[in-house]
Structure 1
Amino acid sequence: MGVVVPLEDERGRSQNAVAQLQALVRDDMEDVNEFIRERMSSDVPMIPELASHLINSGGKRLRPMLTIAASRLCGYTGGDHIKLAASVEFLHTATLLHDDVVDESDLRRGQKTARMVWGNQASVLVGDFLLGRAFRLMVETRSLRALEIIANAASIIAEGEVMQLAAAKDTGTTEDAYMRVIAAKTAALFAAATEVGAVIADRSAGEAAALESYGRNLGIAFQLVDDALDYGGRAASLGKNVGDDFREGKITLPVVLAFRRGGTEERAFWERTLTQGDRREGDLDHAKDLMTKHGAIEDTIARARHYGSIAKDALAIFPDDPYRQALIDLVDFCISRTY
C-alpha cells in the first residue's frame, strides 16, 4: 500500500547488525536478564507474574543493549552498567504498561496486553512497582549524574505522553508539534540509555553529549519508522495490530503529511475518522491509499533516514572498534526493520 519495503539484502544486513550487537553484549545481557528476574520478584504473586508477561514476551531488549554497548565503547570495566541497563528496561516496561492502559491497546508483541489479562488497575500499579525498582537500581550505582539523567528521562517521557494525549484526534497538529512529542516520549529514553554509558565510565562531557545525540536521533528515527509501519507492516511481526494508531485516533507523522497535502474532501475524511471517531469498513485501506497518493509513508521514512544519519555522525568522536560499528549498523536496522 505504498510503504517503502527494504530490499532483501538490506533486510539481511540489518538483521545481521542486531545479531552482531547481541553477540557483543551477550554475556553482559545474560547478567542483565538475571538481574531483571531477581529484582522483579515480590511477595505479591501478581507483580512478578504480570511483569514477566511483558518482560519475557519477546522484545529485543534494545534499550538496555544500548546502555551496555555505550559503556563498553567507553571502556567501562566495572559492574554498574548492568544495574543501569536493568533500570532502563524496567522504566521502558513501566511506560509500556501505562501506555497500553491509556491507549486501550489489546495486543503487544503478538499477545494480549497485560491490561487485557489482569485489568487496567493492576497494569498501572505494577508499572509503578517497576518504576520504583528502576530508581532503586540507579541509587545502588552511587552515580548521581546517572540517576539525574534517567530520572529526567522519566519526567520527559511522561510529558511526551501527555502531549500526545492532548494532540490525540487533533488533525491541526503540525509536524513540529509531533516531532516534539516523539522526541519526548520515545527518544528521551534512547538518549538516556546511551548517555549513561559514558557517565558510568567517567568519560568526557563531549563523549557523553555525543552518545546522548546518538541515542536521541536513533530514537526519533525508530519512532518515525514505527509510525510508517502502522500503515504498512504486518501484525505478526510488528508487535501490535496494523492500523492501531488509526483506530485509536492517533495523529502520527504520516497522518500529518497526508492531511496537509490533501484537498477539502480528503481532510473531511481524516476529520471524520480520527477527530470524530466515525470509522467504517474500508476506511483503513482508504487512509493507506491517501498516504500513498501524497507520499506520506515514503517521506516519513526519508525523515527517519535523516535522523539516522545524524545518529551515525555523532559517533565519529569515538575510535573505530566493534561496539562503535555495531551501533552504527544498528541505525540501519531500526530504519529498515519490518517487524
Structure 2
Amino acid sequence: MGVVIPLEESKNKQASVKPLVDLTKGDMERVNQLILSKAGSDVQMIPEVANHLISSGGKRLRPMLTLASAAMFGYEGEGHIKLATSVEFMHTATLLHDDVVDESDLRRGKSTARTIWGNQASVLVGDFLLGQAFKMMVEVGSMEALDVLATAASVIAEGEVLQLSVAKNMETTEDDYLSVIRAKTAALFAAAAEVGPIIAATDKATRSALRSYGMNLGLAFQLVDDALDYGGKAADLGKNVGDDFREGKITLPVILSYRRGTTEERAFWRQAIENGESTEENLEKALALITKYNGLKDTIARAKHYGTIASDALAPLPDSAYKSALLEVIDFCIDRVN
C-alpha cells in the first residue's frame, strides 16, 4: 500500500532510546541469557515457538524500564534480572495470544507463530511463558512485586476481553478505547516501571511516580502505534500500513474520524469496519477521511498529552543519568511519528 498520510516534519534532533540501552546493557545481556534459558523445554515445540518471537528484534523496552527503575535507586541485588525477564515473558505471551485473537499473519515483519505452528500451539506456549514468569517472580521473594505483576496479568486479560466486546463496533467511544489500551498496553508498562523501586525498597511516593510514568508512557506508546498504522512506513512498522483497518480494528484515528463525519461518512465506516469490507479502495477513502478530520494529528496530540504526564511524574525525583534516559524514552516513543 503506497498511500499514507504525511505526519509532522522531523525535528533536527530525534530522541533516542540509546541512553537507556547503554545504561542497562550489562543487565540486559543477563536478561537475554535468562530468557533463552527459561524458554527452554524438553518439549521441542515450546522453544521453537517461543524463540521465533523472542528473537524477532523487539527493543525490549519494558524489561529495560524494570532494570533502570531499580538501578536508579541503587539496587544491587539479582531480583531485577528475574523481574525484567518476567516482564518480557508476560509481554511475549500477550503477543502470542493477541495474534491468535486478532488472526494476525505478520508480527515485526515475520510470519506470526500461529501461521507456522497453529493457534493451539501459540496459546499454549504463551501459557508456558506466563508460568515461567510467575516462577521467577516467586524466586525473587518480593510479595509486593509479585502482587504488582500478577495484578497486571489479570488487567491485561481483562483488556483483551474488553477489546473483544467492542470489536468492530463503531459506537465505541474514545473513553472505551482508552480503557482498552490502558489495560492491554499501559498496565504492563506501569508494572515494569514500578517493580524496580519496589525491590529497591523506596518509599510509596517514588513507587507511585514510576507507576504513573509507566502508565502514561504506555498510553502514549500505543496511541503513536495507532497513528503509525495509517501514517507510517511498512519498514518501520514491522507490518503493512493499514493492517489495523484490514483487521477491522477500531483505533483512535478511526473513532475520531467517525464521530466527526457526516451521516454518509459514518455509514462508510460501518460498512468498512463492521461489515468487513476493508478493500484497498476503502482504505484509500479511510485515509482521506482521517486526513479530513485530523484523526492522526489529534491522536498524536493525545499521545503528547500522556507523554507530558509521564514526564511530570518523574519531575520530583533526583536528577540522574537514569532519570534523563527515562525522560528521553518518552520523546523517543512520540518522535516515531516524525
Letter in 2 for 1:314: A
Structure-1 residue corresponding to 2:156: 157
Structure-2 residue corresponding to 1:280: 279
Q: What SS is found at the alignment partner of 2:278?
A: coil
Q: Residues 221 and 334 of structure 1 are in contact (CA less than 8 Å); yes or no, is this contact kept in structure 2? A: yes
Matched, 1:23 2:26: no
Structure-2 residue corresponding to 1:268: 267
Deviations 1:39-66 (A, max 9, x none): 1110011101110000010000000001
Write the distance in 2 (CA, Å) between the matches of 1:88 and 1:245. 26
Q: Which moved more, 1:257-266 or 1:73-82?
A: 73-82
Matched, 1:4 2:3: no
Q: What SS is found at the alignment partner of 2:248?
A: coil
Query: 1:75 offset after TM fit, Å?
Result: 1.5
Write the distance in 2 (CA, Å) between the matches of 1:332 and 1:171. 31
Structure-2 residue corresponding to 1:61: 60
Q: Classify 1:244/1:2 alpha carbon distance in 2 versus 1 (closer, same or farther; 3 Å).
A: closer
Write the distance in 1 (CA, Å) between the matches of 2:8 and 2:62. 25
Deviations 1:247-295 (A, max 9, x none): 1111111111000000011101100000111233311111011000000
Query: 1:232 offset after TM fit, Å?
Result: 1.2
Structure-1 residue corresponding to 2:111: 112
Q: Residues 3 and 297 of structure 1 are in contact (CA less than 8 Å); yes or no, is this contact kept in structure 2? A: no
Letter in 1 for 2:286: A
Structure-2 residue corresponding to 1:185: 184
Query: 1:6 offset after TM fit, Å?
Result: 4.4
Q: What SS is found at the alignment partner of 1:49?
A: helix
Matched, 1:33 2:32: yes
Write the distance in 2 (CA, Å) between the matches of 1:57 and 1:103. 19
Q: Which moved more, 1:277-286 or 1:160-169?
A: 277-286
Structure-2 residue corresponding to 1:45: 44
Letter in 1 for 2:112: T
Matched, 1:175 2:178: no
Matched, 1:335 2:334: yes
Structure-1 residue corresponding to 2:121: 122
Letter in 1 for 2:316: I
Write the distance in 2 (CA, Å) between the matches of 1:254 and 1:191. 24
- Matched pairs, number: 335
Q: What SS is found at the alignment partner of 1:82?
A: helix
Write the distance in 1 (CA, Å) between the matches of 2:6 and 2:87. 32
Q: What SS is found at the alignment partner of 1:320?
A: coil
Query: 1:179 offset after TM fit, Å?
Result: 0.7
Q: Which moved more, 1:58-67 or 1:234-243?
A: 234-243
Write the distance in 2 (CA, Å) between the matches of 1:77 and 1:4. 43
Write the distance in 2 (CA, Å) between the matches of 1:33 and 1:9. 34
Write the distance in 1 (CA, Å) between the matches of 2:6 and 2:319. 34
Q: What SS is found at the alignment partner of 1:225?
A: helix
Structure-2 residue corresponding to 1:291: 290
Write the distance in 1 (CA, Å) between the matches of 2:209 and 2:185. 18
Q: Which moved more, 1:185-194 or 1:65-74?
A: 65-74
Q: What SS is found at the alignment partner of 1:170?
A: coil
Deviations 1:158-181 (A, max 9, x none): 111111111111000111111111
Query: 1:237 offset after TM fit, Å?
Result: 1.6
Structure-2 residue corresponding to 1:248: 247
Q: What SS is found at the alignment partner of 1:186?
A: helix
Q: Residues 190 and 215 of structure 1 are in contact (CA less than 8 Å); yes or no, is this contact kept in structure 2? A: yes
Q: Classify 1:214/1:6 alpha carbon distance in 2 versus 1 (closer, same or farther; 3 Å).
A: farther
Letter in 1 for 2:12: D
Q: Classify 1:243/1:2 alpha carbon distance in 2 versus 1 (closer, same or farther; 3 Å).
A: closer
Letter in 1 for 2:7: V
TM-score normalised to the size of structure 2?
0.97
Q: What SS is found at the alignment partner of 1:317?
A: coil
Q: What SS is found at the alignment partner of 2:12?
A: helix
Query: 1:338 offset after TM fit, Å?
Result: 4.7
Query: 1:91 offset after TM fit, Å?
Result: 0.3
Q: What SS is found at the alignment partner of 2:230?
A: coil
Structure-2 residue corresponding to 1:200: 199
Q: What SS is found at the alignment partner of 1:308?
A: helix
Letter in 1 for 2:78: G
Q: Classify 1:170/1:242 alpha carbon distance in 2 versus 1 (closer, same or farther; 3 Å).
A: same
Q: What SS is found at the alignment partner of 1:9?
A: coil
Structure-2 residue corresponding to 1:237: 236
Q: Residues 253 and 290 of structure 2 are in contact (CA less than 8 Å); yes or no, is this contact kept in structure 1? A: yes
